[in-house]
Chains A and B, each alone.
Chain A
Amino acid sequence: MKKFLTLIVIAMLPLTATAHGPSPQKLEKEVVIKADPAKVWAIVKDFGNMQKWHPLVASDKLEQKKDENGEAATFRTLTLKDGGTIYEKLGTINDADMKIKYYIVSGVLPVKDYNATMGVKAGPGAGETTVTWMARFYRKYSLNPPIPPGEDDESAAKAVTGVFDSGLANLKKVAEGK
């Protein structure tokens, strides 16, 4: 939590950003876990229980409702330990490939059009599992420069990096039963 608060503070600082255009950013992080892939996948795919493994998340509330195109969809509200919330939509859960996709609808992260994939695969060593977390997102501010402080590319990348690093480190602990 302290780490996350620090991130928010950093995100609020006025940064001298160069002119950025409408380019999506990519962030990809990996962790190797000493546990069975099926066990890790069961934790990762559990869309309604992120608080069980992510240290910044206090609670996770699932909801079934229609999306903006009128189709049935699954949403969750993550309430963070610092009080902020993130509202997300489930894309797909693919058990064969052990991949889950989801999107941020709204929330405290300074990002826009955020979508992410978490993938689980066996290896590299025997008894090991690799989890890959990949996100594609734009900075929060999508209009003409000048960009308001905290809404630029760097702020977006820092916030997502904080979520990924703390989450993967703790996922490893939880899955390894430590």
Chain B
Amino acid sequence: MKLHPLLIVALVLCSGFATASWAAGRAYITNQGSNNVSVIDTASNKVIATIEVGKAPVGIAVAVRLARVFISNVEGQSISVIDSKTNQVIDTLAVKGSPVGLALAPDGSVLYVADWFANQVLAINTGNLQEQKAITIGLAPAGLLVSRDGKRLYVANRDSNDIGVIDTANLTVIAHIAVGKHPYSMALSPNDATLYAVNVKSNNVSVIDTVSNQVTNTIKVGEHPYSAVVSTDGAHVYVTNTQSDDVSVIDATQQKVIATIPVGAYPEGIDFDDATQQVYVASWADNLVSVIDASSNKVTENIATGLQSRAFGQFILEAAY
């Protein structure tokens, strides 16, 4: 088939544009104090956009398939929906409660929202945001996590000191796993077999077998730990310690801390970039993101963001393939 010269030009332009706009991953960082989101290109580690959202944004969930980023504005009592292709807010959903943690079904079809004050989790159809279901859970639900197979939703109930386990097929609570004091967030191994719950007030991480829903070990970390993430290969777990201003690196096999990395003050959210093998840590007190090279466990860069960066949740949107 012979193509018209103009069509060839158009095709070349289109493919060029697509490559240029989507070469690397993006870290979306919520800034509580400046009511916006900093977008960091994980290849260059530069802020490439700043997006105004609602009041006191905290939680984040990214949906690669939908090209959407969801932000919880805890004081604005809303969810901002960002189109990750344009980095524009395309919708804002009012929520009656105080949305904190967010998580998405692996296919992006359902957004789960932890409602701190109402002690419930909302399940929102991302295709029709008005279609919502509420699930009653423990006290002060904070962090949420969906298993990679999509079958389980884990909820960190801060004030009831347990992890709620929800069967996503029928949205029923099938277990409450007692953990340490004030569990705030969680991380999962790549095979969904091991859940790590971060206990703020007991300065440790509970290791949970997701088949038996039993705690198998407890690992001491730094002061007032907040968030955790597991490396692509599952070998390491990184935990932010908000009051010792560092990140504990846990060897998943030995189940002990093998390194402690100083980062920006009051580190909160943490995520792992599979493409570049870098760990991104939001510093609430220093208004920046510290970047750790996972091979050396050293901070390679500190990127200035907005005021009081939190970045609570899975905030790195991997490059689209």
B275 → chain A closest CB, angstroms: 32
Residue of A nearest to B262 (CB): A97
In the bound complex, do residue B77 and residue A19 qualify as a contact, i.e. CB atoms below 8 Å apart?
A: yes
- Checking A21, A26, A69, A145 against B284 with a beta-carbon cut-off of 8 angstroms, the contacting residue is A26
The answer to whether A91 has its CB under 8 Å from any CB of chain B is: yes
- Checking A23, A134, A136 against B58 with a beta-carbon cut-off of 8 angstroms, the contacting residue is A23
Interface residues on chain A, size class: 20 to 34
The answer to whether B202 has its CB under 8 Å from any CB of chain A is: yes
Residue pairs across A and B with CB atoms within 8 Å: the count is 50
Within 8 A of A (CB), among B217-270: 223-224, 243-244, 265-266
Chain A residues, CB < 8 A from B266: 136
Where chain B touches its partner, the secondary structure class is loop
Knowing A68-B201, A115-B243 are in contact, say whether A136-B285 is a contact too (CB < 8 A): yes
Chain A residues, CB < 8 A from B265: 117, 134
Knowing A91-B243, A136-B266 are in contact, say whether A23-B75 is a contact too (CB < 8 A): yes
Chain B residues, CB < 8 A from A92: 244
Chain A residues, CB < 8 A from B224: 115
Within 8 A of B (CB), among A81-140: 91-92, 101, 103, 115, 117, 134, 136
A128 → chain B closest CB, angstroms: 22
**CB-defined interface of A1-45 with B at 8 Å, one 1/0 digit per residue?**
000000000000000000111111010000000000000000000
**CB-defined interface of A126-162 with B at 8 Å, one 1/0 digit per residue?**
0000000010100000011100000000000000000
In the bound complex, do residue A26 and residue B100 qualify as a contact, i.e. CB atoms below 8 Å apart?
A: no
Please give the residue numbers on chain B whose beta carbons come within 8 Å of chain A beta carbons, in ascending order: 32-33, 56, 58, 74-75, 77, 98, 100, 116-117, 140, 181, 201-203, 223-224, 243-244, 265-266, 284-285, 308
Given contacts A69-B203, A91-B243, 18 further A-B contacts (CB under 8 A): A20-B75, A21-B77, A21-B116, A22-B98, A22-B140, A23-B32, A23-B74, A24-B32, A26-B284, A26-B308, A68-B181, A92-B244, A115-B224, A117-B265, A134-B265, A134-B285, A136-B266, A145-B117
